[in-house]
Structure 1
Amino acid sequence: MYTIRRDEDDEIMGYVVPVGDHWQATTVFNAALADPTSLEEAEDIVRRDGLSCLADRWLVEYDGEWREARLQEVRPDSVRLWWADPMIEQSPHGQWIDTRAHKIRRA
């Protein structure tokens, strides 16, 4: 696994992870950014989308269904999110989700 950092301030932008003979571009919380590809292309994807994608809509598998959410804060093993469905009862501070226990993908 390679950590990709922003040149200006050393901020972690994401990771490039080996997958068979290819490389997977992932976010800072290890969600896939694209299909596996070459090492160079995976690194380019992380540099292009690694941080900006955090503002995108995401889908989270939760209680057996896919729910749309917005990320509020991310850590390597968890994300704090706000469910997009206004009918879901939730804390005004969002909800922490363990990214190892739930599938998360870009909407």
Structure 2
Amino acid sequence: MREIRRDDDGALLGYLRRAGDGWEPLTVFGYPLGEPGPEDRAAEEVRRSGLEVLMGHWEFLRDGEWYRCVILEAAAGEVRVRPDDHRYPHGGYALTLERPGPATFRPYR
């Protein structure tokens, strides 16, 4: 994987992962930001939305139900989230999701 960092302060914005003949843009925790494509287009997608996407609401899957949450922290391979859904049985306690992917974690629709 190749890191993409902000030019002015070096902050990590996300990653590029080789995908066939192209490159897949990923968040800092490895979630796909878009379809694989040319390296420059994938890098631009990471620069444009790599951090912005972390600020919105997300959903995580627990016991067959999707629950809305917000991301508190994101690192390679994991996110720490706070449930923001009155249906979640454990209240607003923060929890860590390891290796979150589209099958268990997704942007809120």
Normalised-by-shorter TM-score class = 0.7 to 0.9
User: CA separation of 1:64/1:87 partners in 2, compared to 1, >3 Å: closer, same or farther?
Assistant: closer
User: CA separation of 1:88/1:67 partners in 2, compared to 1, >3 Å: closer, same or farther?
Assistant: closer
| Rounded Cα–Cα distance in structure 1 between residues aligned with 2:26 and 2:15 | 5
| Rounded Cα–Cα distance in structure 1 between residues aligned with 2:100 and 2:71 | 16
C-alpha deviation, 1:66, in angstroms: 3.0
Alpha-carbon deviations, 1:30-60, whole Å to 9, x = none?
A: 0011111211111000000011111012222
Q: Which aligned pairs between 1:17-32 and structure 2 lie closer than 5 A?
A: 17-32=17-32
Unaligned runs of 5+ in 2: none
| TM-score, normalisation: structure 2 | 0.84
Q: Which amino acid aligns with 1:105?
A: R
| Rounded Cα–Cα distance in structure 2 between residues aligned with 1:93 and 1:83 | 7
Specify the alignment match of 1:41 in structure 2: 41
Two-structure CA RMSD over aligned residues (Å) = 2.0
Give SS of 2:47's match.
Answer: helix
Q: Which aligned pairs between 1:88-99 and structure 2 lie closer than 5 A?
A: 88-90=88-90, 92-99=92-99
| TM-score, normalisation: structure 1 | 0.85
Percent identity over the alignment is: 31
Unaligned runs of 5+ in 1: none
The count of residues paired between Structure 1 and Structure 2 equals 107
Alpha-carbon deviations, 1:82-104, whole Å to 9, x = none?
A: 12211313364411111258732
C-alpha deviation, 1:19, in angstroms: 1.0
